[in-house]
Chain A
Amino acid sequence: MAERINLKEIERKAYTSYHQDGLIDISIAFIVLTFGIMIVLDMGWMGGVFAVVYISFYAAAKKTLTVPRIGFVKFAHYRAKAMQAMAIGVLSLMMLLGVVAFMQTEEGGTPSWLLFAIENYMLVIGVSVAASFCAAGYTFRTKRMYAYALPTLIMFVAGHFLYYPLHYYLILLGSLILLSGLAMLTRFIRKYPLSTSESTGDNRNEG
């Protein structure tokens, strides 16, 4: 048995089963949808504020919906470290780009790469969001994030040539992810009905 056991596979299975509730998808969808709606209302900056609200929603929903059905697990520290490293990496890159853009603008007008990015903002957003999905898929070992990256890229590349407003694509993308998340949540709730107190092992007799 020890010969056949694959600990990495056990860990992967445990990890994916804990995240097959679709809550992360629903949270991402809400963030994307909110950005889209806020752009329509000319309050795009509010999207960031709502992102914080949705993170809290995710934590609360995990506690209310997932843990009573599948139980609670704390994964090894390296998982959390990988998430932190990814978040720090993305933020550092954004800050670096911001500082470089600021310095070059101060020195003598808008730099050519920034002008290119502004002119092709749909491509830049599409590639950035798709890359973020891929990074999330790699870090969290969730293949469906790669599946979200592909329509994102196609949608925004198409958007670059079609000239529809940005919020159309954000709302469409958010709706797609929301539908996927809700389908996963429904399947999860059906697969894992609420456990009785006995099955949680809390009444077990010692010995």
Chain B
Amino acid sequence: MKDDEAKDDELTSIPRVDKIIHEPARFTIMAHLFVVESADFLFLQRQTGLTWGNLSSHISKLEAAGYVEVTKEFLDKKPHTTLQLTNKGRTAFQEYRQSMKQIFSKLPG
């Protein structure tokens, strides 16, 4: 009986996974920003292999969630966009990894 309740608890934790990070492209962006201090748009595009439009759209969603800070500036009279994870984004990414590890470790087989 107790085992059944425990399994139910494990299953109910799945919907609580952060859906913003769960999307593969956003997860890749978050992972790349997690391992560096900051990167510009072009570097992320080269590393992730995402198209400009795709990357732009996902970054906008991450920015809206408060996970990514977008800084726009002019370097040598050219516009330049720098991206970095916010503290909230860094914590959310770590929590996401932790929760996914827990879910997978509890699956049978």
Contact = CB atoms under 8 A, between A and B. Distances in A.
Interface of A: 1-3, 5, 7-8, 10-11, 13-14, 17-18, 70-77, 192, 195, 197-207
B35 A7 contact: yes
Contacts of B31: 5, 7, 10
A7 B27 CA distance: 12
Nearest to B46: A70
B32 A204 contact: no
Contact of A76 (B36, B42, B52): B36
Contacts of A18: 43
B24 A14 contact: no
Interface residues of B, number: 34
Contact of A71 (B34, B39, B79, B100): B39
Dominant secondary structure of chain A at its interface with chain B: loop
B39 A73 contact: yes
Interface of B: 24, 27, 31-32, 34-47, 52, 55-56, 59-60, 72, 78-82, 96-97, 100-101, 104
B37 A74 contact: yes
A14 B36 contact: yes
17 contacts: A3-B104, A7-B35, A10-B32, A10-B35, A13-B47, A14-B32, A14-B35, A18-B43, A72-B80, A72-B82, A73-B36, A73-B40, A73-B43, A199-B52, A200-B41, A200-B80, A201-B41
B36 A17 contact: no
Contacts, number: 104
Contact of B43 (A10, A72, A202): A72
A66 to B, nearest CB: 10
Contact of A200 (B24, B27, B42): B42
A203 B72 CA distance: 11
Contacts of B38: 73-74
A11 B35 CA distance: 6
Given A3-B100, A77-B37, A71 B60 contact: no
B96 to A, nearest CB: 7
Contact of B45 (A3, A71, A76): A71
A204 to B, nearest CB: 4
Contacts of A3: 100-101, 104
A1 B27 contact: yes
Contacts of A202: 41, 72, 78-81
A113 B28 CA distance: 55
Q: Nearest 9 CB-CB pairs, A to B?
A: A201-B41, A71-B43, A71-B42, A2-B100, A11-B35, A202-B79, A204-B56, A74-B37, A73-B39
